[in-house]
C-alpha cells in the first residue's frame, strides 16, 4: 500500500511539473517597452523651405511638405523552458507580424494596420535577455488617410496643433522556430496626433 501511494505521489508531482512548465510557456513572449514608455508626438505633416536660384535670376523660396513615418523602438522578451528537458536547439520566437489598432479618447476606433516584420527573439529561461527592434507606430499612409484635412496650413510657432489623442494597441505574433507553436504578445502606447510647428530649415528633423 505504501509503495502504491508513493508511486501515485510521484506521478502527481511529475504531472504538476509538466503543467507548471506548460503554464510558463503560455504568454512567454512579452513586450517589455514601446518607445521607451514615452508618449509619441506624431506630426501629421512637415513643412520645409528650399531656395532655388536660376542663372541670372533672383533666388526664390519654395515651401515643400512631407508626411513623416513615426518609427519607434520596441523591446521584446521570450521566456521558454519547454518541458524542462535539455535541447541542443535553443528556442527562438520568430516574429513575422505586428498589428496596430487605434482608439481615440472618445472611443472611436480606426481601421487596424498590419506590418510584416522579421524579428527573432532568443529564449532565455531566467527572463534576463531582451531583443530590441524598431517599427512604424504611425505610418505615413495611415496619417494621410485619416488626418490629411488637418494638414493644409503650417501652424505658427505658438500653436500646439494637437488634433487627436490615441491609444495604440500593438500585437506582435509569430511562431517558435523549435516547437512550431504560435506565440504572441500585446502592449499599448499613447500617441498624440497633431500638426505641430516646424522649423522650415529642419525638414524631416
- 128 three-state secondary structure: coil
Tell me whether residue 13 is in a domain: no
pLDDT tens readout for residues 50-89: 777 778 777 777 667 778 899 999 999 998 765 554 555 6
Domain harbouring 181, CATH code:
2.70.50
pLDDT tens readout for residues 92-146: 999 999 999 999 989 999 999 999 999 999 998 777 889 999 999 999 999 999 9
Tally Cβ neighbours within 10 Å of residue 93. Answer: 28
Task: Specify the pTM.
Answer: 0.74
Contact predicate 66/49, CB 8 Å = no
Task: Answer with the residue of higher pLDDT: 171 or 203.
Answer: 171
Buried b (16+ CB within 10 A) or exposed e, 49-79: eeeeeeeeeeeeeeeeeebbebebebbbbbb
Tell me whether residue 5 is in a domain: no
Q: What angle do CA 98, 67, 149 make, to 5 degrees?
A: 105
Looking at every residue in the chain, the average pLDDT score rounds to: 79
Tell me whether residue 14 is in a domain: no
Q: What is the domain range of residue 102?
A: 27-202
* Percent above pLDDT 70 for the chain: 69
Q: In total, how many domains does the chain have?
A: 1
Of the candidates 117, 106, 119, the one whose C-alpha atom is nearest the C-alpha of residue 139 is: 117
Tell me whether residue 96 is in a domain: yes
Amino acid at each position: 500500500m505504501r509503495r502504491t501511494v508513493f508511486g501515485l505521489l510521484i506521478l502527481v508531482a511529475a504531472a504538476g511539473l509538466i503543467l507548471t512548465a506548460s503554464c510558463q510557456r503560455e504568454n512567454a513572449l512579452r513586450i517589455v517597452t514601446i518607445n521607451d514608455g514615452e508618449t509619441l508626438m506624431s506630426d501629421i505633416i512637415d513643412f520645409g523651405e528650399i531656395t532655388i536660384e536660376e542663372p541670372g535670376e533672383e533666388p526664390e523660396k519654395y515651401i515643400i511638405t512631407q508626411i513623416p513615418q513615426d518609427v519607434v523602438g520596441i523591446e521584446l522578451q521570450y521566456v521558454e523552458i519547454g518541458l524542462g528537458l535539455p535541447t541542443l536547439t535553443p528556442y527562438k520566437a520568430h516574429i513575422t507580424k505586428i498589428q496596430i489598432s487605434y482608439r481615440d479618447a472618445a472611443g472611436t476606433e480606426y481601421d487596424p494596420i498590419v506590418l510584416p516584420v522579421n524579428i527573432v527573439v532568443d529564449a532565455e529561461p531566467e527572463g534576463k535577455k531582451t531583443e530590441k527592434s524598431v517599427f512604424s507606430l504611425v505610418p505615413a499612409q495611415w496619417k494621410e488617410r485619416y488626418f490629411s484635412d488637418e494638414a493644409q496650413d503650417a501652424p505658427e510657432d505658438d500653436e500646439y496643433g494637437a488634433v487627436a489623442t490615441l491609444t495604440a494597441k500593438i500585437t506582435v505574433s509569430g511562431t517558435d522556430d523549435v516547437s512550431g507553436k504560435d506565440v504572441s504578445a500585446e502592449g499599448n502606447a499613447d500617441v498624440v496626433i497633431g500638426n505641430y510647428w516646424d522649423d522650415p530649415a529642419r525638414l524631416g528633423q
